[in-house]
Structure 1
């Protein structure tokens, strides 16, 4: 198997601010993220989602077990990415609990995202 490849890489942050690291999953299509998804890290998040969409072939995986927080704009970027996929779905694995609640609140009929809870 190939070693994970860096997609977005760490985002430089000011002291006291969380970073976001994104890498490719090994052995299946998708990405793994760790850190926080906020206004500071959103450019890296959106770049990673763009990469995910460009490599999408039916099912893509998004591993978020090491993500502590995703703001509403970060969830919005995920929803928009999923809605723009030509077919298939994105399986979001182990996200922070509030991600599923935000999706249900704003996109209750978005079937292109499957959330596998923590």
Structure 2
């Protein structure tokens, strides 16, 4: 079950055992995610990316240090969001190991996403 977003507060998505919490970053444009990005939590992930795109002003940050797993569809949602930004880029910080591998496999020349370890 998804919990409605309240601006400035974490958004948990819980169904079965999968959990995803998304909250805004303080001091810079972007979001922090915790948990896992999978079929169960994808609606919350896609909504968070949609909010990120609406607020995008050149560089947006995505802090994923506390994300244990992201599936291919979750990476696809990120890539599609980044391609739709027009200008600027999304800086993905501390992603789970499969995210850069999937980006390299399917979108090797996607300049709108910068991944930092």
* Segments of 4+ moved more than 3 angstroms: none
Tell me by how many angstroms 1:86 deviates.
1.7
Is there any run of 5+ residues in structure 1 with no aligned partner, and where?
none
Tell me by how many angstroms 1:18 deviates.
2.2
TM alignment of 1:64-103, pairs within 5 A: 64-103=64-103
Does 1:110 pair with 2:110? yes
Does 1:27 pair with 2:4? no
Q: Distance in 1 between matches of 2:54 and 2:86?
A: 10
Q: Distance in 2 between matches of 1:41 and 1:59?
A: 25
Count of matched residue pairs: 111
Is there any run of 5+ residues in structure 2 with no aligned partner, and where?
1-6
Q: Which has the higher strand share?
A: 2
Show the counterpart of 1:6: 9
Tell me by how many angstroms 1:35 deviates.
0.1
| TM-score for both structures, normalised by structure 1 | 0.91
Tell me by how many angstroms 1:74 deviates.
0.1
Tell me by how many angstroms 1:113 deviates.
0.1
Q: What secondary structure is seen at the aligned counterpart in 1 of 2:15?
A: coil
1:52-110: CA deviations, max 9, x gaps?
Answer: 00000000000000000000000000000000002000000000011000000000010
